[in-house]
Chain A
Amino acid sequence: MAKPLNRDQMAWRAAQDLPDGAYVNLGLGMPVLAASHAPVDRDIFFQSENGILGVGALPEPGQGDRELVDAGSRVVTLRDGASIFDSAASFAMIRGGHLDITILGAFQVAANGDLANWDALMADKGPLIGGAMDLAVGARAVYVIMRHQNKDATPRLVDVCTYPLTAVGVVKRIYTDLAVLDIDARGFVAREIIPGLDRADLAAATGAPLTFAADCRDLTAPKFDDGD
C-alpha cells in the first residue's frame, strides 16, 4: 500500500532541491517548513517579503524580538550575513528577478504552468493576496508544494485552473504527497513517484495528461512525525 508523504516530508523533498548559495522565498504553510529541512551544509538565504534577506531559526519560546517578524508574522531570528530593508525595496528585489527560487502553496496548477493560489472563492470572506502575485512573476523559478488532490479526490493538477489565477505560465516544478512533477512543453512530467503507487493511479489522480520521465524514480523521504 503506497503511503503518501506528509507535510514535513513534502517540504523536506522540496528543500533538497535548494542549491548552495540560493536566495529563496518560501510561501506560508507547507513551503515555509522547507527552511528547517534544508541541508545544513548549504548556505541558503531565505527572503521574507516584509524586508528580510537571511531569515534564521525560530527563537526559543518567549525569546526573540517582537519587532522582528517574517512574512507569516512569526517572530524570527537572523542568520549570519542577513540584512533588513523596507517593503518597497523587498518587492523590487522580488520583481527585479533577483531571487533564484520561490516555493509557494497552491489550490491548482495547470499543465501550462498557470498558478491559482490566492482566491479559493470562499463565500462571506474577504480577498487576501499578499505577495503571491509578485513572487510568482518575479522569482527566476517558481515551485509549488501542495497535495496532489483535494479531500474530495478532485485533482489539483488540472488542464485549466477554475480558481482565479495568481500568474500565467510560471510554475516549473510541483512537489505533492504522491510525486515530484516538472512542467515543460509536454505538460505535467512525473520525475518521482512514491513507492507502491501505480503509474496509472497517479495519472488518474492528475487532472491533465501525465507523462513519465525516462528516468522516473521512487520518491522517498525520511520519516517525520508531523501528526498527519
Chain B
Amino acid sequence: MINKQVGDLAAAMLGIQSGAALMISGFGNAGIPANLVRALAPMDLTGLTLIINAIRRLDDCDAALFNEQRISHVITTAFRGPGAMPANFEAQWQRGDVTLEIVPQGTFAERIRAGGAGIPAFFTPTAAGTTLAEGREQRLFGGRMCVLEEALKADFALLRAQKADRFGNLFFRGTQANFGTAMAAAAEITVVEVDEISATPLPPEQIHLPGIYVDRVLQAPRLD
C-alpha cells in the first residue's frame, strides 16, 4: 500500500548526504519549504549544491546554511543580498568558497523542466548576445541566435504545497507551485511539506502535481 506521509523532519530529510544537489522551490514568500530548509542546517553536511531561484529566500527560512559553510555551489537567478554590504553568501562567493552559476529565470525553469522531462538540452534565444552566452554553443534558428542550455537534475527537491493525499498528489494554493512542479520531476527524491494531508484522495481534476513525482509528504505549518 502506498503511503507517502512521513511523521517527522528526520524522516523527511533522510538520505541527504554531503555533496548532494538540492532543488528548493519557492518564489517570494509563496511555496517556500521553510521547515525542510531549516532542518538542513544542523545536518552536518558539506559540499551541497543548491538550485534555487533567489538565494536570499534562505534567510527567510532562518537557515544558517552559509553560516555553517554547508554550500559549495549555487545555481540561481538572483544571488544578491539586501543592503549595500555583501551578505554572508556574497562574501563566500567573492572569496571563492562558493562557486556560482547565474541563470536567467526562464532558462532556469526550463532547464529544470527539461531535466524531469527527458530532454538533455535545448536552444533558447534568451541570453544570446550577452556575456552569459560567451564561450557557449550558439546557433541561428530562423535567423535568430540561440544558446544551448543543458537540463538540470538533482538528488532532492524540497517543496511546499497546500494539500496532499497519501499517494503524494499535490494541490497548490495561490502561487505556491512556481518552480516546484518542474523540480519534483527533475529530482531523484521529492519531499513536500504541506498544510494538510487529506484523509481522502484529492479530486483528480484538482491535482496540480501527480503523486508519481512525490516521494515524501510531511504535514507542517507554514513558518513565519
User: B130 and A73: CB pair below 8 A?
Assistant: no
12 A-B pairs (CB sep. < 8 Å): A49-B105, A67-B173, A73-B28, A90-B109, A91-B105, A125-B84, A126-B89, A128-B77, A129-B105, A134-B105, A165-B131, A168-B130
Say yes or no for A127: interface residue by CB 8 A criterion.
yes
B16 contacts across to A, CB distance below 8 A: none
Using CB atoms, name the residue of chain B closest to A84.
B175
Q: Does A108 reach chain B (CB closer than 8 Å)? A: no
Q: Is the CB of B102 within 8 A of A127?
A: yes
Given contact pairs A50-B175, A67-B176, A134-B105, A128 touches B79 in the complex (Cβ within 8 A): yes
- B127 contacts A by Cβ under 8 Å: yes
Shortest Cβ distance from residue A97 to the other chain B in the assembled complex, whole angstroms: 10
Is A87's beta carbon under 8 Å from chain B?
yes
Q: Does A133 contact B (CB under 8 A)?
A: yes
Interface locus among B5-13, B44-52, B179-187:
B179-187
Q: Interface residues, chain A, CB within 8 Å of chain B? A: 48-52, 65-75, 84-88, 90-92, 94-95, 124-134, 137-138, 164-168
The interface residues of chain A lying within 8 Å CB-to-CB of B35 are: none
How near does chain A come to B95, taking the closest CB pair, in angstroms?
12
Near A by CB (< 8 A), chain B positions 2-30 give 27-30
Partner of A66, one of B30, B80, B127: B30
Does the CB pair B78–A86 fall under 8 Å? Answer: no
- Find out whether the CB atom of A86 lies under 8 angstroms from the CB atom of B103: no
Residues of A within 8 A of B80 (CB): 125-128
B99 close to A (CB within 8 Å)? no
- Contact A50–B178 (Cβ < 8 Å): yes
B105 lies within 8 A of A131 (CB): yes
Main secondary structure of the interface of A (DSSP, over half): loop
The docked-state distance in angstroms from the alpha carbon of A138 to that of B106 is 10
Contact A51 B102 (CB under 8 A): no
Residues of B within 8 A of A (CB): 27-31, 53, 55, 77-81, 84-87, 89-90, 93-94, 100, 102-107, 109-110, 112-113, 124-132, 145, 162, 173-182, 208, 222
Task: Find out whether the CB atom of A166 lies under 8 angstroms from the CB atom of B174.
Answer: no
Chain A contacts for B90, CB-based, 8 A: 124-126
The answer to whether A129 touches B102 (Cβ under 8 A) is yes
B29, A69: Cβ atoms closer than 8 Å = yes
A95 touches B106 (CB 8 A): yes
Q: Shortest Cβ distance from A145 into chain B, in angstroms?
A: 20
How far apart are A50's CB and chain B's nearest CB, in angstroms? 4
Identity of the chain B residue whose Cβ is nearest the Cβ of A126 in the assembled complex? B79
Known: A125-B80, A168-B128. A88 touches B181 (CB 8 A): yes
A69-B28 in contact (CB<8A): yes
Residues of chain B with a CB closer than 8 A to A124's CB: 84-86, 90, 94
Q: In the complex, A148 Cα to B112 Cα: how many Å?
A: 38
Min C-beta distance of A86 to chain B, whole Å: 4
Least Cβ–Cβ distance between B116 and chain A, in angstroms: 9
Chain A residues closer than 8 Å to B176, beta-carbon distance: 67
CB distance from A162 to the nearest CB of B (A): 13
Q: Contacts A126-B89, A129-B104, A167-B130; is A68 near B124 (CB within 8 Å)?
A: no
- Of all chain A residues, the one with the shortest Cβ separation from B131 is A164
Question: What B residues does A130 contact at CB under 8 A?
Answer: 77-78, 104-105
Given contacts A50-B28, A124-B90, A125-B80, contact A94 B106 (CB under 8 A): yes
A67–B174 touching, CB < 8 Å: yes
Q: Which residues of B contact A73 (CB under 8 A)?
A: 27-29
Q: Measured between alpha carbons, how far is A65 from B173 in the docked complex, in Å?
A: 9
B102 — which chain A residues lie within 8 A by C-beta? 127, 129
Task: Output the nearest chain A residue to B94 by Cβ-Cβ distance.
Answer: A124
Within the assembled complex, what's the spacing in Å between the Cα atoms of A126 and B86? Answer: 8
The answer to whether B86 and A69 have CB atoms under 8 Å apart is no
CB distance from A122 to the nearest CB of B (A): 8
Kindly identify which residue among A52, A65, A95, A127 contacts B79, using a CB–CB cutoff of 8 Å: A127
